[in-house]
């Protein structure tokens, strides 16, 4: 019986796993980039159980540790995690067992490695291998940079540089190089498998406001009855959406970093055990959570990057069965991510204030202070505080001496206040510019009119074919050619599930009126504001219309009225025939679905829209 079957009951490796496992078994440093659900955890778990010694696993989230350790313990494997969610006495007991070599795997967050007592326990327990999960967190060019990861290279060296396996689901070539350099990997095997997940159907739905997002979520949950994750951009939105679902009688819970550890643990357990069908969460949830049957992942707001989006969307369908990944897109959502970018690090004034605070607390150039006390004294949120301490350490103004009994210990250089902080500010500016580029790519994906799967594969440098039984909403719309759709209608063949064209030709005044709106948008290749579009079609005399008063469709729908036209344009956006692009001055453009309907002169039905006047078919408008 093979080690794979003996320890985990599997008969075959997934693609890429065998090569990576063999490298780890041979004691070689390894960098593995595999999509979510490809089985990265097995790459370090199997060697940990098959070989003597302790494997240290560094993970960024409590959710990941608990889920993987629970699974291993259920299989009878000696594994544990140590983090702040445990009572102090239990933490002490587990650290003691680490020093005595009672575990094969121990999972910790990177900040635990600043604790002197724990580091001593690792030395006594003799770490044979290390695994760094979500390794992209060490890179400032990654989508989820975490300053606490920066110390991992020093810790690995302190432990005698055991073989290291660094694993991530999303890393561009630049991030891969950064991981290797910062962890000090020596001649690593770099294994990058394909990024395509053919069982995932990718979709972007225009949703200009919160009300339309809630309607879409309700519809999606009706059509996909399995477990679901809904990602939101803020804690408030997570709670609001969860309350909305509770009002619909859907068993749901919300999860974010503002909840206490016991509540987060309970919410996660409820979701894993199917007591809650839907979990509504910020990006604090999900990394490493191994629930294979998630059928739907919805993004309520725009993620910060394609790396973040694809990692979170990839939590659907880990059982290789069909799953649905939907982004509800409103151009205004970009502003939230822009705010996060501008507030991801302290400015020069805040950084100097942090340094001055440490200097003020110093006794004989050394500081002992708790996170909470330092946060109160500097009035910095946790993210800025962590980044600021990391910047000061890189500049050499402070030296981190390790944490002890709930306090941080630093040595502050006597001349620290004279240090030039400009290099830190320049690094922040460079990182923010990089994040803005990533956000622009995320917007480009949301507004794409070409294959979304090809877009993602190209972004990650994967030349493989975008093969999938159901690819994406764009490909599905383009597949429904006018002839195919109309022929199917004439033959009495039902439209394909999810078809984007109504196969009956337009015949009523209302239906032709909607096509005229689409025709107007198509004729304005560079887009037009929704208000100005309504004014043009209504025949408004507003001075701001300028040359639009000479457009061939100017006044064509004056019988509808300005206010109803604006409402109808919004409905066409919500229905996916039009979409808004841009942030400061959103422009209306035609979607592939709208273009297909226009080519086919297909009937579009919006129940709330019934003009009283007389419209003209497009083939009679000239």
Residues 288-319: tens digit of each pLDDT: 567 889 999 999 999 999 988 998 998 999 88
Range in 57-66, 230-239, 313-322, 468-477 the model is least confident about: 57-66
What's the confidence (pLDDT) of residue 608?
Answer: 52
Portion of the chain with pLDDT greater than 70, in percent: 90
Beta carbons within 8 Å of 158's beta carbon, 6+ residues apart: 119
Q: pLDDT category, 482, cuts 50, 70, 90?
A: very low
DSSP 553-605: TTTTTTTT-HHHHHHHHHHHHHTTSEEEE-SSS-EEEE-HHHHHHHHHTB---
What's the confidence (pLDDT) of residue 492?
Answer: 41
Q: Which residue has the higher pLDDT, 402 or 622?
A: 402
Strand partners, 79: 105
Residue 201 has pLDDT above 60, yes or no: yes
What's the confidence (pLDDT) of residue 455?
Answer: 94
List Cα–Cα distances, 219 to 157, 223, 305, 502, in angstroms: 53, 6, 26, 19
Distance between CA atoms of residues 358 and 410, nearest Å: 8
Residue 615 has pLDDT above 90, yes or no: no
Tokens of 198: 């053919």
Q: What DSSP element (H or E) covers 471?
A: none
What DSSP state is assigned to residue 199?
T
Interior/surface letters 145-161, b for 16+ CB within 10 angstroms, e for the rest: bbbbbbbbbebbeebee
Q: pLDDT category, 503, cuts 50, 70, 90?
A: very low
Our CA angle for 429, 433, 436, nearest 5°, is 140
Report the pLDDT averaged over residues 533-552: 89
Q: pLDDT category, 502, cuts 50, 70, 90?
A: very low
Beta carbons within 8 Å of 89's beta carbon, 6+ residues apart: none
Distance between CA atoms of residues 142 and 443, nearest Å: 17
Interior/surface letters 383-417, b for 16+ CB within 10 angstroms, e for the rest: ebbbbbbbbbbebebbebeebeeeebbbbbbeebe
Pairing of strands 54-58, 105-108: parallel
Per the listing, tokens 């002490």 go with 92
pTM of the model: 0.68
Beta carbons within 8 Å of 393's beta carbon, 6+ residues apart: 399, 400
Long-range contacts of 265-274 (CB under 8 A, 24+ apart): 265/62, 265/66, 265/85, 268/63, 268/66, 268/67, 271/227, 272/67, 274/227
Q: Which domains does the chain have, with CATH numbers?
A: 3-192 (3.40.50.300), 200-333+448-459 (3.40.50.300), 343-427 (1.10.10.10), 480-620 (1.10.10.10)
Report the pLDDT averaged over residues 358-382: 90
What's the confidence (pLDDT) of residue 378?
Answer: 92
* Cβ atoms 255, 285 nearer than 8 A: yes
Beta carbons within 8 Å of 609's beta carbon, 6+ residues apart: 510, 513, 514, 564, 567, 568, 571
What's the confidence (pLDDT) of residue 541?
Answer: 87
Report the pLDDT averaged over residues 468-479: 84
Rounded to 5 degrees, φ, ψ at 132 are -110, 100
What's the confidence (pLDDT) of residue 484?
Answer: 40
Per the listing, tokens 């290279």 go with 153
Q: Is 331 exposed, middle or buried (0-12, 13-18, 19+ CB in 10 A)?
A: buried
Rounded to 5 degrees, φ, ψ at 195 are -95, -5
Rounded to 5 degrees, φ, ψ at 162 are -65, 160
Residue 24 has pLDDT above 80, yes or no: yes
The tens digit of pLDDT for each residue in 258-281 reads 888 789 888 988 998 899 999 999
Sign of the torsion angle spanned by Cα atoms 207, 209, 214, 215: negative
Q: pLDDT category, 326, cuts 50, 70, 90?
A: very high
The tens digit of pLDDT for each residue in 112-136 reads 888 888 999 999 999 999 999 989 9
Report the pLDDT averaged over residues 322-328: 95
Tokens of 121: 């326990």
Tokens of 25: 């078994």
Sign of the torsion angle spanned by Cα atoms 361, 362, 363, 366: positive
* Cβ atoms 29, 164 nearer than 8 A: yes
Strand partners, 231: 281, 299
What's the confidence (pLDDT) of residue 115?
Answer: 85
DSSP 316-342: S-TTSS-EEEEEEE-GGGHHHHHHHHH
Which of 380, 326, 327, 331 is closest to 356 using CA atoms?
380
The tens digit of pLDDT for each residue in 371-427 reads 889 999 999 988 888 889 888 988 889 988 877 767 888 999 988 888 888 888 888
Beta carbons within 8 Å of 101's beta carbon, 6+ residues apart: 54, 125, 126
Q: pLDDT category, 610, cuts 50, 70, 90?
A: very low
Pairing of strands 296-299, 127-132: unpaired
Tokens of 526: 């560079």
Per the listing, tokens 């129940």 go with 607
């Amino acid at each position: 019986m093979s080690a794979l079957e003996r320890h985990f009951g599997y008969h075959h490796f997934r693609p890429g796993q065998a090569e990576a496992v063999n490298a780890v078994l041979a004691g070689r440093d390894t960098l593995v980039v595999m999509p979510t659900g490809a089985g990265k955890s097995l790459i370090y778990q199997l060697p940990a159980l098959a070989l003597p010694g302790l494997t240290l696993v560094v993970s960024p989230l409590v959710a990941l540790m608990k889920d993987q350790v629970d699974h291993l313990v259920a299989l009878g494997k000696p594994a544990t995690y140590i983090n702040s969610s445990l009572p102090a006495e239990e933490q002490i007991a587990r650290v003691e067992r680490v020093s005595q070599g009672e575990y094969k795997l121990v999972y910790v967050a990177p900040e635990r490695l600043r604790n002197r007592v724990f580091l001593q326990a690792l030395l006594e327990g003799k770490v044979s291998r290390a695994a760094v999960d979500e390794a992209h967190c060490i890179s400032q060019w990654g989508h989820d940079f975490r300053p606490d990861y920066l110390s991992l290279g020093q810790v690995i060296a302190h432990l005698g540089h055991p073989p290291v396996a660094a694993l991530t689901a999303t890393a561009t070539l630049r991030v891969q190089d950064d991981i290797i350099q910062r962890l000090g990997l020596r001649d690593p095997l770099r294994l990058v498998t394909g990024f395509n997940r053919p069982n995932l159907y990718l979709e972007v739905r225009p949703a200009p406001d919160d009300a339309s997002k809630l309607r879409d979520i309700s519809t999606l949950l009706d059509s996909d009855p399995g477990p679901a994750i809904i990602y939101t951009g803020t804690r408030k939105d997570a709670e609001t959406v969860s309350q909305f679902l509770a009002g619909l009688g859907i068993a749901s819970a919300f999860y974010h970093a503002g909840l206490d550890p016991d509540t987060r643990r309970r919410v996660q357990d409820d979701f894993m055990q199917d007591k809650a069908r839907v979990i509504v969460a910020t990006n604090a949830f999900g990394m490493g959570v191994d629930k294979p049957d998630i059928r739907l992942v919805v993004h309520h707001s725009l993620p910060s990057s394609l790396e973040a989006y694809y990692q979170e969307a990839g939590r659907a369908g880990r059982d290789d069965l069909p799953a649905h990944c939907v982004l509800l897109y409103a151009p205004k959502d970009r502003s939230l991510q822009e705010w996060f970018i501008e507030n991801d690090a302290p400015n020069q004034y805040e950084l100097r204030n942090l340094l001055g605070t440490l200097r003020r607390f110093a006794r004989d150039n050394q500081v002992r202070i708790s996170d909470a006390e330092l946060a109160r004294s500097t009035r910095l949120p946790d993210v800025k505080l962590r980044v600021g301490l990391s910047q000061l350490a890189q500049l050499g103004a402070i030296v981190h001496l390790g944490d002890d009994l709930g306090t941080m210990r630093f040595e502050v250089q006597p001349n620290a206040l004279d240090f030039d902080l400009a290099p830190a500010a320049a690094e922040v500016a460079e990182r923010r510019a990089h994040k803005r580029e990533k956000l622009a790519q995320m917007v480009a994906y949301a507004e794409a009119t070409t294959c979304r799967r090809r877009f993602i594969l190209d972004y990650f440098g994967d030349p493989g074919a975008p093969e999938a039984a159901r690819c994406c909403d764009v490909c599905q719309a383009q597949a429904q050619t006018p002839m195919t759709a109309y022929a199917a209608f004439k033959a009495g063949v039902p439209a394909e599930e999810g078809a984007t064209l109504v196969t009956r030709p337009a015949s009523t005044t209302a239906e032709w009126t909607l096509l005229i709106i689409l025709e107007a948008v198509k004729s304005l290749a560079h887009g037009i504001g929704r208000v100005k579009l309504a004014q043009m079609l209504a025949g408004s005399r507003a001075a701001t219309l300028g040359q639009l008063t000479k457009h061939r469709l100017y006044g064509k729908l004056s019988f509808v009225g300005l206010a109803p036209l604006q409402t109808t344009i919004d409905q066409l956006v919500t229905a996916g025939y039009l979409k808004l692009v841009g942030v400061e001055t959103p422009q209306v453009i035609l979607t592939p679905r709208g273009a297909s309907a226009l080519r086919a002169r297909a009937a579009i039905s919006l129940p709330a829209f019934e003009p009283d006047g007389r419209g003209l078919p497009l083939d009679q408008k000239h």
